[in-house]
Chain A
Amino acid sequence: MYDSPALEAALDQKESKIAAKDVQVFYGDTHAIKDVSIDIPEKTVTAFIGPSGCGKSTFLRCLNRMNDTIDICRVKGDILLDGEDIYDKRVDPVQLRAKVGMVFQKPNPFPKSIYDNIAYGPRIHGLAKNKADLDEIVEKSLRRGAIWDEVKDRLHAPGTGLSGGQQQRLCIARAVATQPEVLLMDEPCSALDPIATAQVEELIDELRHKFAVVIVTHSMQQAARVSQKTAFFHLGNLVEFGDTGQIFTNPTDPRTESYITGRIG
């Protein structure tokens, strides 16, 4: 929707940011993700679509090791970030998550002021040398989160007092503030109304110029609107992965076609 044909053509030349190879995920005895291999390119929005319970969120959470917090979850296979295995023993998941930020389904601002919400990441990672520096990061992040104009007069009001859409943009701004390289979004618009959704989508398109963005979504229209690459998951398998235009107009797998036309899912 926002893309020029030239940009689409250039996609294949972009190097891959995250490369996953033969990834398996188990929840206890349940085999949640089966043999998923995917290359997520740099500076591109990649959408994961698929019916509920197909494993797209699970896979997303593997990319910054958020699944580590679930005791019964086991991950096999390789996931490389810039060529480095993120499940290597030497990797500290905390350090990884600073590079691979995440925005969740439900807006979850900290019950603190708007300023403190944004400043938290830079503070714990030591990104600001002094107060002025921090102020600047907060303003830049809020601007990038497309929420600056709405909150600039009440930076010290609680973040929980904002509307749902504003809260989600605040959370995106908060994720951006830690200067990640990849931004993972787990159904970021599912709790939002259409207007707020449009704002967030516009924002995602902006963010693509800085980061690799991976977005899980239930809405095929959303995937079509914001992403350049789309991956279709079904029952824990990656069925099809390709350019968004191609997936929606000319899918190669019959299952993808059934899902897109509304026959499964």
Chain B
Amino acid sequence: MTDISQTPSNPPKTSIHKTDERTKKRNAAERRFKAYGIAAITAGLLVLVVLVGTILNNGLGAFQQTFVTLNVELAEAKLDKKGNRNIDDIKKVSTFGYAPLMKTAFEAKVEELGLETGLKSKDMAAILSKSAAAELREFVLEDTSRIGTTVEFTFLTNSRVDGYMKGRVTRESIANDKKISAAQLDFVDQLVAAGVVEKRFNANFIFGADASDQRPEAAGIGVSMMGSFFMMLVVLVLALPIGVAASIYLEEFAPKNWITDLIEVNISNLAAVPSIVFGILGLAVFINYMHLPQSAPLVGGLVLTLMTLPTIIISTRASLKAVPPSIRDAALGLGASKMQSVFHHVLPLAAPGILTGTIIGLAQALGETAPLLLIGMIGFIASNAPDSISAGLLSPNSAMPAQIYEWAKRAEPAFYERAWGGIIILLIFLVTMNTIAVILRRRFERRW
């Protein structure tokens, strides 16, 4: 008040070509604010680049694997002693019976290439993966007429050799390693020079099953991908209709009273509940009370449905709200019933928003790990892909993020690379889903 009375009644004449003090201050403040904004965005981008760079740098290796190509003589004397090609008899030969074949194959290879090595054939065969014999056995059982012939077979090497090829394992790092010796690495170098050992694209990582602690080279994310797929199927089939129906009722039909207010507040609260709470709820209700099978994608899907519902309901209600009331009035004014106005006019206009919300909800569910820990979808679970839809839903399986977590906590360093590789695959899925959401929204967005 007093300030006003103190201002001179005739302010001095000023030129607009000269910026006064206040304007300078305001402009400086605006410049500072812009600089903060740019700094924030730059920091964000930088972190993103570092993140993506680290993931690619650490994970891309998992898509390549080291293989050895050998000519294996499938000797009849070892595999089918009776010589009658009876499948039951052949099945009695365990992987131990196959091990000598690989030793012989290595000896033959060394002789053929004229390599000089002090290694015994047992140590040569030790560069192979522990799953090599099992793979060969499966190959023979597939077609018993292969017995007696010599076939070219590609084996996985063990994770140490693979690490050596990728630069993770060096002669210094294996000084105290019982699994591999410097002499074996020399032998590998010789084989690489001869073109017998090489790094190749590893489709098994994308499509295969997890492998035990001893065989990181054979582990793949494919089966847990199926687990994720079946869970998403359950989520989509349950959460989309329930969520959309609930939102339509709440938004368009429900009377506005304290009960609907209460429901509304609780839905918003549910969206903020930590996912692990849903996990323990699923454990208590679906497994302990309803006795659904443990570790099954069905249960995982149910838990994730509970988690996704609030997201879908909130985004659906928001997109229903965004449809202008004039459209509802127009339909009602023509004598359309409430339901006709909603289903003929409001819902089609809200559909892109609903779809976007659903896809983002699904993407969230796809990346969720915590609730899966509690319903047992973690650990070394599935070694075979499910062979039917019911098996896919009911037989124990894992999910992609749970698989990544599982790999990350295993001691064997080769699994570390696989965890990063799994993250790349998971991210590809998430980015694809979000891109689809954006495209759908752009494509079907209508103006009125």
Contact = CB atoms under 8 A, between A and B. Distances in A.
Interface string A82-115: 0000000000001111110111101011110000
Interface residues of A, number: 28
A104 B336 contact: no
Interface stretch (B8-16, B63-71, B120-128, B324-332): B324-332
B335 A66 contact: no
B335 A124 contact: yes
Contacts of A108: 324, 326-327, 329-330, 448
A97 B334 contact: yes
Contact of A71 (B255, B332, B340, B349): B255
Interface in A171-193: 171, 174-175, 178
Nearest to B349: A111
B446 interface: yes
B256 interface: yes
B447 interface: yes
B326 A106 contact: yes
Query: A66, A102, A171: which has the most chain B beta carbons within 10 Å?
Result: A102
Contacts of B340: 124
Contacts, number: 71
A104 B326 contact: yes
Interface string A63-81: 0101001010000000000
Interface in B329-348: 329-338, 340, 344-345
A51 interface: no
Nearest to A68: B332
Interface residues of B, number: 23
B27 to A, nearest CB: 41
A125 interface: yes
B399 to A, nearest CB: 40
A95 B336 CA distance: 9
A97 B335 CA distance: 5
A104 B333 CA distance: 9
Contacts of A69: 328-329, 332
Interface in A110-132: 110-111, 120-121, 124-125
A197 interface: no
A160 interface: yes
B334 A66 contact: no
A186 B11 CA distance: 54
Nearest to A96: B335
Given A108-B326, A111-B447, A94 B335 contact: yes
Given A94-B337, A104-B326, A160-B448, A66 B332 contact: yes
B333 A102 contact: yes
A161 to B, nearest CB: 10
B447 A66 contact: no
Nearest to B340: A124
29 contacts: A66-B332, A66-B333, A69-B332, A71-B255, A94-B335, A94-B337, A95-B335, A99-B335, A101-B333, A101-B334, A102-B333, A104-B326, A104-B330, A108-B324, A108-B327, A108-B330, A111-B446, A111-B447, A111-B448, A120-B344, A121-B334, A121-B336, A124-B335, A124-B336, A124-B340, A160-B447, A160-B448, A175-B333, A175-B334
Q: Which 4 A-B pairs have the closest CB atoms?
A: A98-B335, A102-B333, A108-B326, A97-B335
Given A66-B333, A99-B335, 18 more contacts: A66-B332, A95-B335, A96-B335, A97-B333, A98-B334, A101-B335, A102-B329, A102-B333, A104-B330, A108-B326, A108-B448, A110-B345, A111-B327, A111-B446, A121-B335, A124-B344, A174-B330, A178-B334
